Structure 1
Amino acid sequence: MAEILPFRAWRYNRELSRNIDELTSPLFDVVSERQRKALYQNPYNSIHLSVPVQPDPAEHAAALLEQWKDDGSIVQDKLPGIYVYYQYFKLANSPKAYCRKGFICHIRTYDWSENVILRHENTIPKAVNDRIELLEKTELQVSATHGLYTDPDFELEKLMDEAITVPIYETEDYQGVRDVLAVIHDEKAIRRFMNVIRDKNIILADGHHRYEGSLIYKHKMLKAHPGATGNEGFNYHLMYLTNTEADDLRILPTHRLITGIASFNEETILQKLEADFIIKPVEDSDTLNEIIAGKPWAFGLMFRENAYKIRLKPESLHKITWPFPEEIKKLDLTIMHYFIIEKALGIPGKDQRQSENIMFDRSFSDCLKKVIKEEAQMAIITNEVSIDDVKKVCYSGYTMPQKSTYFYPKVICGFLFSSVKEEEFREPIYSPFVK
């Protein structure tokens, strides 16, 4: 069902790679302005390709890319490979050590209607347009999106474990995560990867905007090249694939901050909620996240002076009028956006995606600080989303509200780049994967 291919990555030359930790960067949609300014100081940092400087950022990236190719700053690997990528990390307040195991490959860019690659979030048009322009100008995929496949037999992990013992790169990133990259060139092993993924659906965990950009770019190119065979580089996308059945797939909670609502009143909001929620005052607001942890349909409400734990009454579930299947109505996210944001705060569901009154923040301490400093009127503290919840949404055909999930850790940019330029994408004559 899902076709993947090995590819010949463009990577920094041997001399530059000795300082690979100085060349990596956060993904374009998570890098802060402060991080950007610091990373721009290194003329070879990958930030110059992923978030190029103004004005004319796409033109700047395209010119710089050609310069790097011409002077040998980046070099294309001679053999096609599957690139194994492990991320070793810990979570705050937990001694457990995790290792997320995955691999980077080319995957055919499927239309959403084909139900091969499944999305769980909608995209923001402006962010998609930025990615399309960059892809058109550079014909380069700078960073891999994150996809999920399901394999309870863990058929590929043994191959990956063997490969990672001979790493290409190893570094600690801005998240405090240890990132390790290796490559598999063996034809038999690569075909095993291709065969295992062939009958899988892929859930898009992270990188909806980049994938949507590749999808739109593919259709523009097909329209411009009516004789295309379907095997051209523009038909493929760079993706990092991990197994949903591993216990190292972490999704951190994303809290909501509310701001700019006219006639905002704490007492009125609580009155609107009390018919559907059990409401309990919390003396110490800095414990809200701990109090609701692991409890279904439970949320923390944080106001400047007061904090509350609220939990939906089961008998209120039937009141949800949104046209969702039952399993989607039962999700914490649906309950939060329906009962709290629409019914209590008065922001209709159809307007929530574009609403300037809703902000997203993964940091509980940031939420606390912003509410106390009156930078936000209130915060809605929520639990993390489970991978089972993500699967339910994807297989239902519906999508979650924007920025509902934060898969951790984030993939970093700079280990490798993937070209969709035809002469660079095409396999050399000596490759066993020539089509």
Structure 2
Amino acid sequence: MKGRPKSRPFFISSSDSYPAFLIFTALNRKLKIMAIIKPFRALRPQPALAKEVAARPYDVLNSKEAAEAAAGNPNSFYHVSKSEIDLPEGTDIHSEAVYAKAAENLQNLQTSGTLFHEEQPCYYIYKLVMDGRSQTGLVCASSIDDYNKGIIKKHEFTRPDKELDRINHITTTRAQTGNVFLAYNDVPELNTLISHWQQNQRPVYDFTAEDGISHTIWVVNEASVGDEITRLFAEKVPATYIADGHHRAASAALVQKASGEDINSDANLNYFLTTIFPASELAILDYNRLVKDLNGHSKEDFLSRLEYDFTVEAVGHHEQKPAMLHEITMYLDHTWYHLVAREGTYSADPIGILDVTILQNNILDKHLGIRDPRTDKRIDFVGGIRGLGELVKRVDSGEMQVAFALYPVTIQQLFDIADSGNVMPPKSTWFEPKLRDGLLTHLI
């Protein structure tokens, strides 16, 4: 079945044989509201092999790190997501050989029985626990039509080179191996339903990875429960928000567009792999900056210039995290400084109020000559998961000259910016913990 026939009346009776998600899809597309999701037949590992298969997202580690992580483990999903590790050293990671090797390795994992294809479409519940804090999301297939129409909201620009990499990976493997992390405003009925399933069913996967993060997954394989999940999203969730995975989402949409597939059909190609979390369970970490030089200024001149827009206080050698909004901490010449933005250095609009914008406009651009942080080679970014020690190490080594630590963006700020149709400055948010690749793959 490829979708609702065009000649068929819009209203669908309960006696029709259409899957529930197609009924809700038809209703939603007619009304142009609410989120469209559906269950899918995941390609997933045998339970005993889940920990061996699970891999960190492809874009959070380099080829050398992936090779070390996969050493001696033929079941590691890095052989698919970072397949250059199985080719001669120095191979261009964007070459055709790398994508072909990924497809070969994915097929081998299926042929060996390490991975198997779910017999029926299911939803999946994915719980992560890190440092005692847990978050639980729904793994599903989200509509590319929703992405195109802005029901799935974005807050970052994407780069064509990164899109092309994922396009080539998807089209060669015929699979979406990277999960897109979405968020939504809490729906109590959904929270209750998901919690009830967790309490009354055994998980299929339950392990703690080497980094101490635990991963637990349940399969929702009862049609009535799946239908209720679909209905609740159709009725209660007007929008979802991309938290992490803008390039994965954009690439899936471009693959669909290039295929010529009817967007109104239920083809797998019209959906992409997502895990959707309620906003109340999410935490955003800081995303910090390092700069190679002071743009020709002496330390004394640079500090003096900062006082036009900030109160500047030297606070010693111990690591200093910002304690509130509009406070930035800076590490320069073995000393930490508190920089508090003066009134008038920022606006009240959703973008202008962000600390990353204050830093960009009043320090990076104004004094350090970094106008486009996406392309300038003098700046680097460090996710808060690495801690302030990483900033200190790289400045003290002489690799960088100055570091800036930022107060984290809130989930509500992210929602406000996405709702306004604006985008955040690059590298504004860092989400932890990360979903693992390989546990649930969406075949197209």
Q: Counterpart amino acid of 1:156?
A: L
Say whether 1:161 aligns with 2:195: yes
Q: Give the CA deviation at 1:112.
A: 5.3
Say whether 1:297 aligns with 2:329: no
Q: Counterpart amino acid of 1:162?
A: H
Give matches, 1:143-162, under 5 Å. Answer: 143-151=178-186, 153-162=187-196
Corresponding residue to 2:370 among 321, 332, 347: 347
What is the aligned length? Answer: 393
Q: Give the CA deviation at 1:278.
A: 0.8
Give matches, 1:171-210, under 5 Å. Answer: 171-198=207-234, 199-210=237-248
CA distance in 1, matches of 2:252, 2:148: 15
Q: Give the CA deviation at 1:221.
A: 0.6
CA distance in 1, matches of 2:145, 2:294: 40
Report Cα offsets for 1:252-273 as digits up to 9, x if no partner. 1011000155424322222222
CA distance in 1, matches of 2:355, 2:285: 14
Contact 1:304 1:374 (8 Å CA) reproduced: no
Question: Which residue is equivalent to 2:266?
Answer: 231
Question: Which residue is equivalent to 1:288?
Answer: 320
Report Cα offsets for 1:266-323 as digits up to 9, x if no partner. 2222222211111111122x2311xx22x121101111233211101113336xxxxx
CA distance in 2, matches of 1:132, 1:64: 18
Contact 1:83 1:181 (8 Å CA) reproduced: yes
Question: Which residue is equivalent to 1:419?
Answer: 443
Match of 1:157, SS state, is: helix
Give matches, 1:18-417, under 5 Å. Answer: 18-41=48-71, 42-53=73-84, 54=87, 55=91, 56-90=97-131, 97-110=132-145, 114-151=149-186, 153-164=187-198, 165-198=201-234, 199-222=237-260, 225=261, 229-244=264-279, 246=280, 248-260=281-293, 262-284=295-317, 286-289=318-321, 292-293=322-323, 295-317=324-346, 326-348=349-371, 351-362=372-383, 363-417=387-441
CA distance in 2, matches of 1:206, 1:29: 11
Contact 2:36 2:146 (8 Å CA) reproduced: no
**Residues 77 and 196 (structure 1), Cα distance of their counterparts in 2 relative to 1, 3 Å cut:** same
Q: Give the CA deviation at 1:86.
A: 0.5
Contact 1:272 1:343 (8 Å CA) reproduced: no
Q: Counterpart amino acid of 1:158?
A: T
Q: Counterpart amino acid of 1:368?
A: V
CA distance in 1, matches of 2:105, 2:334: 52
CA distance in 2, matches of 1:364, 1:192: 45
Contact 1:150 1:200 (8 Å CA) reproduced: no
Match of 2:356, SS state, is: helix
Match of 1:85, SS state, is: strand
TM-score computed with the length of structure 2 as normaliser? 0.84
CA distance in 2, matches of 1:300, 1:86: 34
Q: Give the CA deviation at 1:18.
A: 1.2
Q: Which runs of 5+ in 2 are unaligned?
A: 1-33, 92-96
Contact 1:252 1:408 (8 Å CA) reproduced: yes
Q: Give the CA deviation at 1:113.
A: 5.5
Contact 2:190 2:229 (8 Å CA) reproduced: yes
Give RMSD over aligned pairs.
1.9
CA distance in 1, matches of 2:136, 2:328: 32
Q: Which moved more, 1:180-189 or 1:105-114?
A: 105-114
TM-score computed with the length of structure 1 as normaliser? 0.86
CA distance in 2, matches of 1:392, 1:370: 34
CA distance in 1, matches of 2:405, 2:188: 35
Q: Which runs of 5+ in 1 are unaligned?
A: 91-96, 319-324, 421-435
Contact 1:175 1:409 (8 Å CA) reproduced: no
Q: Give the CA deviation at 1:31.
A: 2.5
Report Cα offsets for 1:149-206 as digits up to 9, x if no partner. 112x421222222333410001112431111000111222112211222242110001
CA distance in 2, matches of 1:147, 1:64: 28
* Percent identity between the two aligned chains: 25
CA distance in 2, matches of 1:158, 1:218: 34
CA distance in 1, matches of 2:233, 2:70: 38
CA distance in 2, matches of 1:310, 1:139: 50
Contact 2:140 2:274 (8 Å CA) reproduced: yes
Contact 1:101 1:157 (8 Å CA) reproduced: no
Q: Counterpart amino acid of 1:360?
A: F
Contact 1:87 1:177 (8 Å CA) reproduced: yes
CA distance in 2, matches of 1:33, 1:10: 24
CA distance in 2, matches of 1:212, 1:261: 36
